[in-house]
Amino acid sequence: MSETARRSVYRVAVLSAVGVGVGAAASAAAIGFVELIELLNEILLISPHARIQYEETPGLVIAATLLVPAAGGILVAAVIRFGIAERRALGPPDAILAVQTGAAPPSVRSGLGSTLAALVSLGCGASVGQYGPLVYLGTLIGQLTSRLRFGLHDLQSISIACGVAAAISTAFNAPIAGIVFAHEVILRHYSLRAFAPVTVASAVGYILANVVFERAPLFLVHFDGVRHGYEFILFAGVGVCGALIAVAFMRLLTESGKMAARLPIPDLLKPGLAGLVLGLIALQLPEVLGIGKEALRFATIEGAFGLGELAALVIAKIFVTVMCVGFGFVGGVFSPALLIGILFGALSGATVGTVLPDLYSGVVVYAICGMTAVFSPVIGAPLTAIMIIFELTRSYDLTIAAMVAVVFSNLVANRLFGRSLFDVQLANRGFDLSLGRDRAILRNCRITELGDMTAPTASPDEPLRDALDRLNSAGRAEAPVVDADGTYHGILRAGSASTMAADARVRDNISGQGLVFDETTTLWDALERMRAFIGDAAAIVDSRDRRFLGSVTEAAVIGAYLDTVQVLRREENAAL
Amino acid sequence: MQRFNVIICAALIALAAPVDAETLTVVTWGGAYEESQQKAYFAPFEKATGAEIKIVRYDGGLDELRAHLATAKGAPEWDVVDMVLADAHRACAEGLIATVTTSDLAPAPDGTPPEDDFMPGTIGPCWVSQLVYSTAIAYDERAFPGLKPAGIADFFDVARFPGKRALQRSPIAVLEWALLSYDVPREQVYHLLSTERGLNLAFRRLDNLRGNIVWWSSGDEPPAMLQSGEAAMASGYNGRFFHAIAEQNAPIAMVWDGQLLDYATWTVVAGSGNKDLARQFVRFATRAENLAEQARHISYGPTRASARERIGMYADSNIPMHAHLPTAPRHMQRAVRQDHAWYAKTENLRQRRFASWLKSLPESDRP
């Protein structure tokens, strides 16, 4: 067997094992996580199923509604303070960042802390989502596996993607959506090397969820098909309106943290306060508590809600979710987006039903269109959204209707906001994926890493002649001028030295500053600024104290660019 | 094998040992069900122990037991009560019944201990559930010669399937069915019924039946109502319908969709003067042989695996019983498992809501 073939067999073995191992572990963790939340909801009187069993002691139910989310909030704040080094919730953006840049994700301890905080938040009925924490749980398990030394350079990305795919596949009971989500949102490429183990992991998740633990499909609804062709125009309309709701929701979410930061309340008390307000609202509208699975189902039943109720619930759910996330509860935004979307969809359906009572296909299809229109721009994954609908409803007709809504919704939301909430959050943290991952990675490479201190420099006080001699013998035409303190003064160009007088000093012959980068300059900026550059090298100078950090040649910048692009190209086209 | 035979013989001798000719009072449900118990449990027990079994009939619920215990002077007269599992949960919580432990139960004939032989959840602190029965819908074949009702939604569709509906005058099964008719998944039924919205939707569906309801209270009434033409569709216990079909050749067909699975459960009354005899009876009646024998006379599924393996033909006919049990795999696909704890805790709420709905009905529908 040749060496290449042996490497191939080795890779296939490792990647299959990673797919199975990470898939099984992430899936089991996801099942455990979801079961624990349900158990907590039951014990803490958050779920209606538990609350109704105490309807003869209404005082107890009211007390639980007010106090459980508030107490949970205080606990969450403590976990964030003492358990998470980053002092914030970890979620899909962190997974995306680790996979896209190959950088180490947040520590395992932080990951566990964030998962615990999410468990408490969701268990106590905070209006946050469970899929964000589940995605991070998959990331955490993928991250643990990548520590094993298998000698594959892209193992971290692949095993994180496997963990995420298995978590999604298990939680939604949707293996195809798991695969698509891992590629569309996390990996952002479709190489066979990643695709194979991710698919294995997703299938393992599905097998565990269905065969071993027998979890029921999440969202089987009955639908007889779209009755009138023109309704597809209405679905597109639902898509556009859904996008507006999604954009408002995402804008408020990105602003909510800043708004909360301005409040003069200690951080340790903020989630507790949000919990109390949530409880107060829940006394009137119990649907806003937790994930709201019951309301999700009722939204597909004709006449379960009145028009006014639907509108009130959409607004209330947006408000409490923004408040919970902004004030520091830990959790995702996907489940709330599902609920907001489906309620909005039901509202659209009920409106159409009122205007054209005999000419519409029932509330189900509008509810599903609304749901997809709102959640797909939030996660920025139209393909995943379509797959989720297909796998959850197992209905071709509903999927095609939802597809129309998704396309229009994503078009509008992309224009108005960006690709997804995750991408905008990452962009706010300086990692902008909106114009491709190569640009984002180049924008995260600091030019200082390419700085070269070995090239000849000149001192301002030395004789010009000496400096030029040194340049000549090094075959250079210019040199940065740096004094004894390391401060940068400018550039000395051999061709433009005006005098060759014996007493001429370098100081008097500096020909300007030349092209200067600083410690914040990224590889991308450097490439942009070097477009019209003629010369040997650009200087890298500390913007704070003008200290010279090295020089960088055009060849080094282009070389680094080619290296990065090549790594990406290899990763994106890797076969097994 | 030799050893097991010895154990069985020893057990039989122990059972047959003379006990003072005592009287054990067993409270149960009457009709074909009681007949099957007579053949499988009561007569053999009397023969084996010499004790006399006195039967008291009731229609479920705990009101009668509460009243009986409240008025009893000294030890109550009732010793053993056959109740539904949700009632057993409540009775246990209220202290109406005594503890029953696995050591009170006989192992399977092959020596499997009871806890591995019974279905999970059927042995509780004060009870042992002996069989699975279901409350299901059946219809009169003559009323629907063409299109047949096939799903639970058809029960509420009096336009497509006209005719009277016979319903138990109690909020059991009917709320689940009403909600199921909106196509909600059966796994979610109790979570949805736990909300105000879910209850309202269920009662709204029941409103469809206004003007078309006849009420029943005892288990042998629904098959009779279908046979007499008093009702075109009826809710009822699957075993009673089967009995009418098999014994009387009644033109009745089952709709298994949405069948509500529940357990018939033996309990020993708290403060019973015959506690030992009562426990001996429970041990005897839940032996695999006796359970299998009962399933030959009524189409209810034993909760013991070792008993299910032993079920044969119906009585002395050629009808294999397996296909008629609620636990038959094709009937299980659309079955609802009753949430017993939820049932026990929501009893008052359901009764209250049901009573106020009854009041809203037209005069002709009132019980």
- Put simply, whether B333 touches A (Cβ < 8 Å) is no
Least confident of B14-18, B86-90, B186-190: B14-18
Same domain, residue pair B96 and B110: yes
Taken in order B194, B197, B198, B203, is the CA torsion positive or negative? Answer: positive
A221 contacts B342? CB cut-off 8 A: no
Query: From the CA of B54, how many Å to the nearest CA of chain A?
Result: 37
* Tokens 């569906």 sit on residue: B205
Least confident of A323-327, B295-299, B361-365: B361-365
B184 contacts A49? CB cut-off 8 A: no
* Tokens 């039989």 sit on residue: B12
Kind and range of the H or E run holding A377: helix A363-379
Token digits of residue B278 = 């009562």
> What pLDDT sits at residue B11?
52
In chain A, which among 412-441 make CB contacts under 8 A with chain B?
none
pLDDT surpassing 80 at residue B224 = yes
Do residues B186 and B180 touch, judged by C-beta distance below 8 A?
A: yes
Q: Which tens digits make up the pLDDT trace of A405-437?
A: 999 999 999 999 988 999 888 888 888 888 788
A54 contacts B191? CB cut-off 8 A: no
Closest residue, chain A, to B349 (C-alpha): A55
Same domain, residue pair B252 and B271: no
- Put simply, whether B179 touches A (Cβ < 8 Å) is no
pLDDT surpassing 50 at residue B19 = no
pLDDT bin (cut points 50, 70, 90) of residue B1 is very low
Helix (H, G, I), strand (E, B) or coil at A2: coil
Least confident of A233-247, A353-367, B203-217: A353-367
Do residues B313 and B87 touch, judged by C-beta distance below 8 A?
A: no
Q: In whole angstroms, how far apart are CA A365 and each of A223, A226, A235?
A: 8, 8, 9
To the nearest whole percent, how much of chain A has pLDDT over 90? 55
Token digits of residue B24 = 């054990």
Same domain, residue pair B253 and B170: yes
Least confident of A110-114, A395-399, A493-497, B357-361: A493-497
- Put simply, whether B345 touches A (Cβ < 8 Å) is yes
- Put simply, whether A53 touches B (Cβ < 8 Å) is yes
Do residues A201 and A162 touch, judged by C-beta distance below 8 A?
A: yes
Q: What is the mean pLDDT of residues A493-518?
A: 79
> What pLDDT sits at residue B17?
46
CATH number of B105's domain: 3.40.190.10
pLDDT surpassing 60 at residue B252 = yes
> What pLDDT sits at residue B364?
78
A49 contacts B194? CB cut-off 8 A: yes
Kind and range of the H or E run holding B155: helix B152-155
Amino acid at A274: A
Range of the domain at B111: 2-132+263-321
Closest residue, chain A, to B188 (C-alpha): A294
The answer to pTM > 0.90 is: no
Q: Which of A49, A55, A305 has the CB atom closest to B190's CB atom?
A: A49
Kind and range of the H or E run holding B25: strand B23-28
- Put simply, whether A220 touches B (Cβ < 8 Å) is yes
Same domain, residue pair B96 and B221: no
- Put simply, whether A354 touches B (Cβ < 8 Å) is no
Q: How far is A200 from A324, CA to CA, in rounded Å?
A: 36
**Mean pLDDT for chain B overall:** 89
Chain B environment of A298 (Cβ under 8 Å):
192, 195, 197-198, 201
Same domain, residue pair B342 and B219: yes
- Put simply, whether B185 touches A (Cβ < 8 Å) is yes
Query: From the CA of B137, how many Å to the nearest CA of chain A?
Result: 22
* Cα dihedral A397→A401→A404→A406 (10° resolution): -110
Q: How far is B150 from A10, CA to CA, in rounded Å?
A: 56
Q: HEC profile for A43-72?
A: HCCCCHHHHHHHCCCHHHHHHHHHHHHHHH
B184 contacts A301? CB cut-off 8 A: yes
Kind and range of the H or E run holding B262: strand B252-268
Same domain, residue pair B216 and B237: yes
> What pLDDT sits at residue B8?
54
Same domain, residue pair B24 and B109: yes
A interface test, pick of B189, B192, B352 with most A CB neighbours within 10 Å: B192
Same domain, residue pair B216 and B101: no
Per-residue exposure over B253-272, b if at least 16 CB sit within 10 Å of its own CB, e if not: bbbbbbbbbbbbbbbbbbbb
> What pLDDT sits at residue A316?
96
A56 contacts B184? CB cut-off 8 A: no
Q: How many domains does chain B divide into?
A: 2
A interface test, pick of B89, B194, B196 with most A CB neighbours within 10 Å: B194
- Interaxial angle between packed helices A131-146 and A92-101, expressed in degrees from 0 to 180 and rounded to the nearest 10: 30
> What pLDDT sits at residue A436?
80
Domains of chain A are: 3-212 (1.10.3080.10), 231-434 (1.10.3080.10), 441-564 (3.10.580.10)
Closest residue, chain B, to A220 (C-alpha): B185
Same domain, residue pair B339 and B241: yes
B341 contacts A297? CB cut-off 8 A: no
Do residues B326 and B237 touch, judged by C-beta distance below 8 A?
A: no
Residues in chain B: 367
* Tokens 């060759």 sit on residue: A500
B184 contacts A305? CB cut-off 8 A: no
Query: From the CA of B185, how many Å to the nearest CA of chain A?
Result: 7
Of B321, B336, B355, the residue that ends a domain is B321
pLDDT surpassing 70 at residue B7 = no
pLDDT surpassing 90 at residue A257 = no
> What pLDDT sits at residue A218?
66
B191 contacts A52? CB cut-off 8 A: no
Closest residue, chain B, to A221 (C-alpha): B183
Q: Which tens digits make up the pLDDT trace of A67-122?
A: 999 999 999 999 999 999 998 999 999 999 999 888 888 999 999 999 999 999 99
Q: Which tens digits make up the pLDDT trace of A117-175?
A: 999 999 999 999 999 999 999 999 999 987 787 877 788 899 999 999 999 999 888 89
Same domain, residue pair B66 and B146: no
Same domain, residue pair B104 and B19: yes
Do residues B92 and B256 touch, judged by C-beta distance below 8 A?
A: no
Other residues' Cβ atoms within 10 Å of the Cβ of residue A359: 12
> What pLDDT sits at residue A438?
84
Query: From the CA of A294, how many Å to the nearest CA of chain B?
Result: 6
A56 contacts B348? CB cut-off 8 A: yes
- Put simply, whether B184 touches A (Cβ < 8 Å) is yes
Same domain, residue pair B218 and B355: yes
**Mean pLDDT for chain A overall:** 90
pLDDT surpassing 80 at residue A55 = yes
A297 contacts B192? CB cut-off 8 A: yes
